[in-house]
Amino acid sequence: MNYQNRTVIITGASSGIGREYARVFAGKRARLVLTGRREKKLDEAREEAMGLGAASVELIVGDLADARTASAVEAIAGDRNTAVLINNAGFSHYGNVAESECGPLLDMLMVQAEVPLRLCREALRGMRHAGSGLIINVGSLAGRVAVPGSALYVATKCFLERLSETLALEAAADGVVVQALTPGYVRTDFHRDIENYQEKRQNRGLIRWMDADAVVRRSLRAADRAHRRLRSHPHAIPRRRDVIVIPGAANRFLGALSPLVPRNLVYRAAMRQPRR
């Protein structure tokens, strides 16, 4: 697809995977709309993107759990010039549900489920008119398992994966590609609040840490492949490998294994994990 002067919305672009997507689409001379709470980091992202060739960069600074921030992004998503929407913003919150305040749990539901759904709906309507488009919802392999202390994280990531699969089927006839990017561990700011997290970012067995640029490369390669296929076979049913994209061979192995492992074993492994 040609992204020159087309709008590309990336939520959570102040660091990590979102920032990496911003670099790639800047190089394709797109009009970037970048969101996040850390204004200084977003300013840096804008400067970098302009240096890489972005046609323009608009920043929306604020918490996506705040309805005003979410509405500002939603208004742009419905614009017919929007070619790409990347629902990437996400955070971790640790604590058993019974011991957590309601606030952080509901914020997560908003940032990682309600807002992505609203943005998908708006973007799909505009993309349908344009006859093409790309939506990437960033899930997680964690959405396939049970993780005590991270119930809402797991549930929202599972939601995003299932939502994306169905939207991919609904939108294919309109020339729109929908992808659930489902990474394992990635070296970003995501784990920065975990004690000794630098030490914990070590590969162990099938646990393989990846860099954000490799994750994004894999995602966009799959998106290009899906677009080429839609162009040559407009009535083709999307393929699983283009819809659920799991970067990294070890992660793909874990992803293929997850539905086959008896759930009781999953529970036992989850309970054996050290609590934070």
CB-based contacts of 133, cutoff 8 Å, min separation 6:
82, 83, 84, 85, 123, 124, 126, 127, 171, 174, 175, 176, 177
Whether the Cβ atoms of residue 216 and residue 174 lie closer than 8 Å to each other: no
- Residue 140: CB minimum distance to ligand NAP, A: 4
Whether the Cβ atoms of residue 33 and residue 21 lie closer than 8 Å to each other: no
Interface residue with ligand NAP among 12, 133, 149, 238 (CB under 6 A) is: 12
Q: How far apart are CA 102 and CA 106, in angstroms?
A: 6
For position 135 contacting ligand NAP by CB under 6 A, the verdict is no
Interface residue with ligand NAP among 3, 31, 36, 227 (CB under 6 A) is: 36
For position 137 contacting ligand NAP by CB under 6 A, the verdict is no
Contacts (CB under 6 A) with ligand NAP, residues 146-205: 183, 185-186, 188-190
Residue 274 structure tokens: 């050290």
Name the residue nearer to ligand NAP (CB basis): 231 or 276.
276
Contacts (CB under 6 A) with ligand NAP, residues 59-118: 63-65, 88-91, 111
- Residue 198: CB minimum distance to ligand NAP, A: 14
Q: Which of 181, 106, 89, 100 minimizes the C-alpha distance to 143?
A: 181
Can you say how many angstroms the Cα of residue 207 is from the centroid of all Cα atoms in its chain? 20
Positions that interact with ligand NAP (CB under 6 A): 12-18, 36-38, 41, 63-65, 88-91, 111, 138, 140, 183, 185-186, 188-190
